[in-house]
Amino acid sequence: SVSAVLPAGGSGERLGGATPKQFCAVQGRPLVSYAVRAMERISWISDIIVVVSPENIETMKTIIEKYGHKRVTVVEGGITRHRSIFNGLKVFAENEFSSHLLQKPEVVIIHDAVRPFVEEDIVSKVVMAAKEHGAAGAIRPLVSTVIASAADGCLDHSLERARYRASEMPQAFLFDIIYEAYQQCTDYDLDYGTECLHLALKYCKTNAKLVEGTADLWKVTYKRDLYAAESIIKDNLSQQVCVITSVKETLAQVGFLLSESLKSQIKVEAISISLSKNDSHLQNIISEQCYNFVCVTDKRCAIQETQELVDMLEKSNIPLLHPVVLISVHLDISENNSFSIGMEDLTTIKKFARETKKKNILVYGLLIQYK
């Protein structure tokens, strides 16, 4: 089995703010919650251990509660990163830190709470490499030249950039190897070291396999990185819209025309289905994290259909991460000239929208009279 440890004990000095960066809100949600969610989405990860400093344990538990995180255990960290990771690992091996000892995994992933955008693909590659080599870690090309300074503050030498790499996260290890390394290593390592791959090499003679990672693995370090994370999330949220109509011909046609006119600006999926049936195409779209839906109907009050979509979305856990926008369009193509929606219907829709908003699903109603 595979489990994950997320050290989240840092103080975030480099960010220049009072709140440690892993607890800074990005689009209203703490950064650590994105990292937890990224791990949680990977079904083959059993346990997720989040290691936080003593003063943040309650904060972390509140976050887990609020965002409905599952499979997460909160562990008290040490005064350095290595000590925190060691504490996280102990949960699988010693009774000291947890009332119930968690099942010892074959492979343990170590990831940062401040790297919110890790994809299953790279996690999987790193885990496979760790199974084969005992240890593995994501790397990236260096952005700047690395130099060594002499005692007088002058340049001693510079490293040839092409020969070196930046060590990033995630990393993964055979549990027995990294746990052994932490047990063997010195206080100096625990207090001043920063690199888990180094411990595996030094104490277990395990040369980690290095895996090229993607640019989005970067670590949120400075305030500008929070800005960047926010923009990336916004970008993702507005990338796709799904237009849903019934199978009725006139409506399907409207759905087609709508998607044609939208597709120059956004990725559009148009589907004609009966919402009461559990449609696998729609399920797929939802699981690919579509956050925007337009539902076109000719029914007088489409609460029931909308409710079915809301139920599907809720079950998918998608709204846990970000608000879902759902526009319910009532298309009135009857010859009748008068408004076919009364105050009563309006009240019903408003009440419905208030309820779904609590579930992070924003429902908007739109009435179009077409003649």
Looking at residue 304, its amino acid is Q
Task: Rank residues 195 and 314 by Cβ distance to its own copies and give the closer one.
Answer: 195
Dist CA 61 CA 71 (whole Å): 13
Whole-number minimum distance, CB 159 to its own copies, in Å? 7
CB of 94 to its own copies, least distance (A): 28
Can you tell me whether residue 349 is helix, strand or coil?
Answer: helix
* Sole residue written with tokens 């709140």: 19
Q: What is d(CA 117, CA 215) in angstroms, rounded to the nearest whole number? A: 10
CB of 315 to its own copies, least distance (A): 32
CB atoms inside a 10 Å sphere around CB 159: 12
Tell me whether residue 158 or residue 284 sits nearer to its own copies (CB atom). 158
**Please, which residue, 13 or 344, has the CB nearer to its own copies?**
13
Residues that bind its own copies (CB under 8 A): 14, 133, 135, 137, 139-140, 142-150, 153-159, 161-168, 192, 194-195, 197-198, 201, 207-210, 215-216, 218-219, 221-225, 227-232
Cβ closest to its own copies, residue 146 vs residue 346: 146
Residue with tokens 């579509």: 290
* Least Cβ distance, residue 136 to its own copies (angstroms): 9
Label residue 214 left, alpha or beta by phi (over 0 means left) and psi (-120 to 50 means alpha). Answer: beta
Report the residue number, 31 or 210, with the smaller CB distance to its own copies.
210
The answer to whether the beta carbons of residues 170 and 107 sit under 8 Å apart is: no
**Residue 290: CB minimum distance to its own copies, A:** 22
Task: With residue 361 as reference, give the H or E element that holds it.
Answer: strand 361-369
Contact predicate 309/328, CB 8 Å: no
The least CB distance from residue 46 to its own copies, in Å, is 27
CB of 212 to its own copies, least distance (A): 9
Long-range contacts of 367-370 (CB under 8 A, 24+ apart): 367/329, 367/330, 367/332, 367/339, 367/341, 368/329, 368/330, 368/331, 368/332, 369/332, 369/339, 369/340, 370/331, 370/332, 370/333
- Please state whether the peptide bond connecting residue 170 to the residue before it is cis, i.e. omega within 30 degrees of 0: yes
Which tokens belong to 96? 């000291």
Nearer to its own copies, 156 or 355 (CB): 156
Nearer to its own copies, 54 or 141 (CB): 141
